[in-house]
Amino acid sequence: MLSDRLFLEQQARACGFSSIRIATAEIPPDAERYEAWLEAGYHGDMGYLENTSELRLDARKFLAGARSVVVLGMDYGQPSPPDPGGLTGKVACYAWGRDYHNLILQRLRRLRKSLEEAWPGLRARGSVDLLPVYERAWAKAAGLGWIGKNCCAILPSEGSTFFIATLMLDRELPADGPMADHCGRCRRCLDACPTGAFLGPGSLDARRCISYLTIEHHGAIPLELRPQMGRWLFGCDVCQEVCPHVRLGKKKLEEDFFPRHAFLPLGAILEASDAALLDCFEGSPIRRACPERLRRNACVVLGNIGDRRAVPLLEQAARSASPLVQEHAIWALERCL
């Protein structure tokens, strides 16, 4: 007869999760730091983080009677395909393939069902960054890595290229403890950040982060940050790429994560209709940026590339019906002429 812990691990691995740890469903130790981060306004336009902070910081409010938080990891890291160069923009690795939410939520439902069948009366609730759960805090509490200076959960010799999911249970399971910090004196991620988004080790001003600027931020990108964005069209991997713990290609990945959109043609982004862009990125995390913001980002990348071949594209974008796209196209034109 398998113990509860061994049975859980067996079922989780059968569902494709590569890492499994458990935390006690208490308010995580990072709660005060998180609230101070919100109070300082470092979350920018992400008002949903503030509006749901109470739920994020107490598993028992997310699932009444919660006693354990199962924290699960699923790898997505892989070497980059060849860079085509030219008038193309870069996409963060996690968004190369299909939308991870769909796959992981399916696996969570399968895991929950197997546990409910084995443990009659069990109440459980799963999440993968769509619901108000502070996944990173639970990963730290359960020892699914430590929180690095780049604010990512990191596993020794594996890195941070894994998705985090949680499954709250109203059943008490043996809890794991936090993992020791292995960053040491290394500060490669802090020094490499193109926009200087880190306030210090483990502290990020999202308003300067390229991932935030290209995905979550709805307005104009600050002038002083645009040149630092380089060719990043959607997201950014710099602070993970320089981390000495990251080891890509070590594990077999889900086919859903194989690269479909690692590099994108910027001309096609600017010339396609909203409907065409939404169709192109059906089932992709890239849809989160919406067509208008993708065009805004494409203009910035073209301005950073500075190739005169982009002038006709930018001139057309400067006549866009969107004032947001117009502004960024005019800025980019000045850099290409």
Instruction: Give the tens place of pLDDT for each residue, 171-215.
Output: 999 999 999 999 999 999 999 999 999 999 999 999 999 999 999
Domain assignment present for 300? yes
Does residue 93 have a pLDDT over 50?
A: yes
Q: How confident is the model at residue 2 (pLDDT cuts 50, 70, 90)?
A: low
- Domain check: are 15 and 157 in the same one? yes
Contacts of 268 (CB under 8 A, 6+ apart): none
Domain coverage including residue 162: 4-78+98-169
- Domain check: are 21 and 165 in the same one? yes
- Domain check: are 197 and 138 in the same one? no
Task: Kindly tell me the number of DSSP H helices and DSSP E strands found in the chain.
Answer: 15, 11
- Domain check: are 140 and 201 in the same one? no
- Domain check: are 256 and 314 in the same one? yes
Q: How confident is the model at residue 26 (pLDDT cuts 50, 70, 90)?
A: confident
Tens-digit pLDDT profile for residues 156-167: 878 999 999 999
Q: How many CB atoms lie within 10 A of CB 275?
A: 9
b/e burial code for range 308-318 (CB count within 10 A of at least 16 → b):
eebeebbeebb
Domain assignment present for 106? yes
Across 75-81, average pLDDT: 93
- Domain check: are 210 and 293 in the same one? yes
Active site residues: 129
- Domain check: are 284 and 223 in the same one? yes
Q: Strands of 232-234's sheet, edge to edge?
A: 232-234, 88-91, 263-265
pLDDT for 27 equals 86
∠ CA 297-302-304, nearest 5°, is: 95
Domain assignment present for 175? no
- Domain check: are 205 and 242 in the same one? yes
The number of domains in the chain is: 2
Calpha distance 86→228 (Å, rounded)? 18
Where does a domain end: 119, 142, 169?
169
DSSP-derived 3-state class of residue 73: strand
Calpha distance 178→289 (Å, rounded)? 34
Domain assignment present for 182? no
- Choice among 57-66, 134-143, 245-254, 271-280 with the minimum mean pLDDT: 245-254
Across 258-271, average pLDDT: 97
User: What's the DSSP call for residue 176?
Assistant: P
pLDDT for 47 equals 92
Domain assignment present for 311? yes
Domain assignment present for 178? no
Domain assignment present for 174? no
Domain assignment present for 120? yes
- Domain check: are 274 and 246 in the same one? yes
- Domain check: are 49 and 196 in the same one? no
- Domain check: are 323 and 214 in the same one? yes
Q: How confident is the model at residue 249 (pLDDT cuts 50, 70, 90)?
A: low
